[in-house]
Structure 1
Amino acid sequence: PPETIMQTAYVCYDMQKLRILEDLFSQSRPQRVIIFSSSKMKVKELASTLKRMKFNVAAMHSDLEQSQREEVMKEFKNGRIDILVATDVVSRGIDINDIKLVINFDIPHDPEDYVHRIGRTARGTNGEGLAITFISTEEQFQFKRIEEFLDKEVYKIPVDSKFGETPLYEPEKYSNMRRGRGRPRKDGGKGKSNSRLGGNNDQRRRGRPRKEA
């Protein structure tokens, strides 16, 4: 990815991701933002949740007809949609200028997909962009593979103490995790939740989601 993309990350527990995201958007109104997730179900749920929070958002995934995708992209390109929540179906081949921020709500399965995702930003006239990645405990080793692929360490933003305890970045410690098994039962102090938005464990127990075309 271009050096003009500022790459950052939050190391957190699954159930803290949505709270940190909401806090980010409360500090600065989101505009021209793409949020990537690795499953259609997560994309649909996240888009629905953000709509309930009164954000101007749309979802993009392979369940949509081609005409629907084109309409969503047109609305996003014209600025009538502020946030696009998408699977990797739009990480390649979409050339929209002035994307201000790309967020990886969860880690892509392939390091090259990470590069394609964050490459959606830094395409405007000033050539600058920001990429933020949320890293849960079971995703740490996966993200370390991305850093090795990039041959650089991505800056980890300290998480505000108001979100509760957060894990250390120790990817080797979590290298033996298998898709949500053995994950420390931490929720950032908010208790249990039935929502799948907090993490990938529901998806991962069924096996790795197929990559969308």
Structure 2
Amino acid sequence: MTQSFSELSLAPTLARAVAEMGYENMTPIQAQAIPVVLQGHDVMGAAQTGTGKTAAFSLPLLQRLLKHENASTSPARHPVRALVLLPTRELADQVAEQIKLYAKYTQMRSTVVFGGMDMKPQTLELKKGVEILVATPGRLLDHIEAKNCVLNQVEYVVLDEADRMLDIGFLPDLQRILSYLPKQRTTLLFSATFSPEIKRLASSYLQDPVTIEVARSNATASTVEQCFYRVEDEDKRRVMQQILRERGVKQAFVFVNSKLGCARLARSLERDGLNTTALHGDKSQDERLKALDAFKTGAVDLLVCTDVAARGLDIKDVPAVFNFDIPFNAEDYVHRIGRTGRAGASGLAVSFVTGRDARNLGDIEKLIGKKAEFVPVEPEPERRPGGRYNDGQRVWQQPQRDEGSARPMARAPRAPRPASDPFFDKPYEPTAAPEAKPSWEVADKPAARSVSPNIKPKKKVAALFKATERTPETES
């Protein structure tokens, strides 16, 4: 039975914002988590990606923090009371935007801090005072060490996508951050997947948590059609373009495993005439945000990315996801295909499998509990790009087309070459006699010196006595 947001008895300011965002009925994770958080219990929530976990922890936090709402301009009246930690910059920026929309009719302040950007604007926002701080662990530690924020009044801590934070090595940073927080607090841990490491983390920092699982762990959304194609590496790009044309897909994520492969594939697709941009960890934060904005607004059709975009990004109405490379971690497959088919919409997930992907594919099948069914495909022959062509001569020519036909006409045969001049067919004949020496050898050369020119001559000194010749008589 579905529940509506009107049954939650939210504050009028929050209810107004929720209504303007078009929220009517709660998702399963929201219906189960929001009442528990409103009661002040720790929560360990697991749900499929794209089911509204952000609203599940943001709305009850704002509801409970409204008692601290005030219009004072003093930073001391606006200490950090809720801390939301996320693994990636893009996800942190997205969650911060959502929280601002929920709280726009309240006087609660919020901001976001993440790496890759200048710290000065972030420091100015923190000095003004904020009640809700959204951050990535590394940049938050930078601000703590610079004494830009104090966390001794934090009442709520949210660890979103906690499994991803552990995967990329944030456990020591999390432990340091949690050591700065008060012992008495409410801790919420949300993730699409749970692992033994996550459960150990929860047992260390959560107090009697309420476990909420609205779907089988690591399950994929039923609205996503999963297709597997067995192709070779050199055929992947052509098969992907073939599927785009046949399915009429206008926009899609394209996931690869490496940053170098991401950049190369984006350039190749651009040369093929597709509107493409790349998103990976070697790009600056400004470039990453611009790429995401272009994809969200529809200015870009294909977003070629690494797993930096696999977690939590909520871009509505993306019809397809392509796994150009099978992920090394099976759980990343669940997150990748979760970028489509969000909020009950249908989606398409296409995965290209080569001969060396057997082990990774087996891990995915074991995780999702489903056998991969391969779709037969015959790669189309590579098409010659439109425009001018070069037939081996120096001049580039435009293809001629038949009237009323879109197919280029056959090329006209080459014109025969003119008869050659017999003068240029003669063998080489030297103009001078073979025994004649070249002019540079005939020219007069300076006489060879017996002494090197680098050796200075002896200096002549006048003798005081005349030297006499020695004879046998004088020697005796």
Query: Does TM-score exceed 0.5, indicating one fold?
Result: yes
Q: 2 CA distance for matches of 1:161 and 1:99?
A: 25
Deviation at 1:24, TM superposition (A): 1.9
TM-score between the two structures when normalised by the length of structure 2 = 0.33
- Does the 8 Å CA contact 2:238/2:380 hold for their aligned counterparts? no
Say whether 1:9 aligns with 2:228: yes
Match of residue 277 from structure 2: 58
Match of residue 334 from structure 2: 115
Match of residue 367 from structure 2: 149
Match of residue 291 from structure 2: 72
- Does the 8 Å CA contact 2:239/2:380 hold for their aligned counterparts? no
Name the amino acid aligned to 2:340. T
> Within 5 A, what are the aligned runs for 1:119-198?
119-123=338-342, 126-160=344-378
Q: 2 CA distance for matches of 1:145 and 1:64?
A: 30
| Per-residue CA distance 1:36-58 (angstroms, 9 max, x = gap) | 00001111111000000111110
> Within 5 A, what are the aligned runs for 1:88-107?
88-107=307-326
- Does the 8 Å CA contact 1:9/1:133 hold for their aligned counterparts? yes
- Does the 8 Å CA contact 2:242/2:380 hold for their aligned counterparts? no
Q: 1:52 to 1:111 in 2, by over 3 A?
A: same
- Does the 8 Å CA contact 2:275/2:300 hold for their aligned counterparts? yes
- Does the 8 Å CA contact 2:238/2:379 hold for their aligned counterparts? no
Deviation at 1:25, TM superposition (A): 2.8
- Does the 8 Å CA contact 1:9/1:132 hold for their aligned counterparts? yes
- Does the 8 Å CA contact 2:224/2:346 hold for their aligned counterparts? yes
Deviation at 1:11, TM superposition (A): 1.0
Which structure carries more relative contact order (alpha carbon 8 Å, separation 6+)? 1
Q: 2 CA distance for matches of 1:158 and 1:149?
A: 24
Q: 2 CA distance for matches of 1:19 and 1:55?
A: 12
Deviation at 1:162, TM superposition (A): 5.2
How many residue pairs are counted as aligned between the two chains?
A: 162
> Within 5 A, what are the aligned runs for 1:13-52?
13-52=232-271
| Per-residue CA distance 1:49-98 (angstroms, 9 max, x = gap) | 00001111100001111121111111100111110000001101211111
Q: 2 CA distance for matches of 1:114 and 1:28?
A: 22
- Does the 8 Å CA contact 1:30/1:83 hold for their aligned counterparts? no
Match of residue 403 from structure 2: none
- Does the 8 Å CA contact 1:30/1:82 hold for their aligned counterparts? no
Q: 2 CA distance for matches of 1:37 and 1:161?
A: 20
Deviation at 1:155, TM superposition (A): 2.5
Q: 2 CA distance for matches of 1:90 and 1:7?
A: 19
- Does the 8 Å CA contact 1:33/1:102 hold for their aligned counterparts? yes
For residue 16 of structure 1, give the secondary structure of its aligned residue in structure 2: helix
Q: 1 CA distance for matches of 2:275 and 2:249?
A: 9
Deviation at 1:30, TM superposition (A): 3.9
- Does the 8 Å CA contact 1:108/1:114 hold for their aligned counterparts? yes
Q: 2 CA distance for matches of 1:51 and 1:161?
A: 20
Deviation at 1:27, TM superposition (A): 3.1
Q: 2 CA distance for matches of 1:138 and 1:147?
A: 16
Comparing 15-24 and 127-136, the one that deviates more: 15-24
For residue 342 of structure 2, give the secondary structure of its aligned residue in structure 1: coil
Give ranges in structure 1 of 5+ residues lacking alignment. Answer: 164-213
Q: 2 CA distance for matches of 1:4 and 1:155?
A: 17
Q: 1:29 to 1:44 in 2, by over 3 A?
A: farther
Larger radius of gyration: 2
For residue 155 of structure 1, give the secondary structure of its aligned residue in structure 2: coil
Identity of aligned residues (%): 36
TM-score between the two structures when normalised by the length of structure 1 = 0.72
Give ranges in structure 2 of 5+ residues lacking alignment. Answer: 1-219, 382-476
Q: 1:25 to 1:161 in 2, by over 3 A?
A: closer
Match of residue 210 from structure 1: none
